[in-house]
């Protein structure tokens, strides 16, 4: 347990039921020792413990994780750190990631929009190409988020536009 990190997160408004303050590198080490495991990931996700949920995202086999499961997980994500890990290590690697992310950025749910923009940013960083219609939709949704009241989504939308500009898609 890292009490200083845990206390700092709690003071910043990241109030998990239980938070050990373990950093992502340490959790990635645990995940690499554990290996991919659907049943364990599902059991870990059910716990309202920061580290368990992060581990769940790291060990769930990406090819077996589907958008309908991501929809359920997003409904349970309360804090941006978990959204960031899920988007980077799981959502952007699952089958149908792009389609799900576009559905999420058009959602009324702020966390879904945040995960959608983050997922698209990771897809673009990974070299995913998008057709002109998708690029225009992404630009429109990103601009709406940037001009909207949700600072978290605005920052993620800016990140997507930066990624888009640095690829052949833009």
Phi, psi (degrees; rounded to nearest 5) at 49? -125, 125
Q: Which residue has the higher pLDDT, 15 or 149?
A: 149
CA proximity to 22, closest of 54, 51, 62, 56: 51
pLDDT of 143 > 90? The answer is: yes
For residues 26-43, give the mean pLDDT.
Answer: 96
pLDDT of 57 > 60? The answer is: yes
Between CA 48 and CA 51 the distance in angstroms is 9
- Dump pLDDT digits (tens) for 74-129: 999 998 989 999 999 999 999 999 999 999 999 999 999 999 999 999 999 988 88
pLDDT at residue 1 in the model: 46
The sign of the dihedral angle between the CA atoms of 168, 94, 87, 157 is positive
Domain ranges of the chain: 1-60, 75-170
Q: Which residue has the higher pLDDT, 163 or 114?
A: 114
What 3-state DSSP class applies to 5? helix
Query: Could you give the count of Cα atoms lying within 13 Å of 69 in the half-sphere of its Cβ?
Result: 21
pLDDT at residue 165 in the model: 86
Whether the CB-CB separation of 138 and 103 falls below 8 Å is answered with no
pLDDT of 2 > 50? The answer is: no
Say what percent of the chain tops pLDDT 90: 71
Backbone φ/ψ region at 150: left (φ over 0), alpha (ψ -120 to 50), beta: beta
């Amino acid at each position: 347990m890292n009490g200083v990190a845990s206390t700092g997160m709690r003071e910043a408004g990241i109030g998990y039921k239980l938070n050990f303050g373990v950093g992502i590198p340490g959790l990635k080490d645990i995940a690499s020792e554990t290996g991919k495991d659907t049943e364990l990931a599902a059991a870990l996700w059910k716990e309202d413990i920061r580290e368990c949920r992060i581990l769940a995202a790291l060990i769930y086999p990406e090819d077996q994780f589907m958008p309908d499961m991501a929809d359920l997980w997003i409904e349970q994500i309360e804090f941006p750190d978990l959204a960031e890990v899920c988007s980077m290590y799981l959502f952007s690697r699952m089958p149908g990631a792009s389609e799900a992310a576009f559905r999420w950025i058009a959602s009324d749910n702020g966390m879904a929009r945040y995960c959608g923009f983050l997922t698209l940013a990771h897809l673009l960083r990974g070299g995913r190409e998008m057709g002109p219609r998708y690029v225009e939709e992404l630009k429109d949704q990103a601009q709406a988020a940037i001009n909207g009241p949700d600072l978290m989504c605005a920052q993620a939308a800016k990140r997507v536009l930066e990624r888009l500009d640095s690829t052949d898609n833009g």
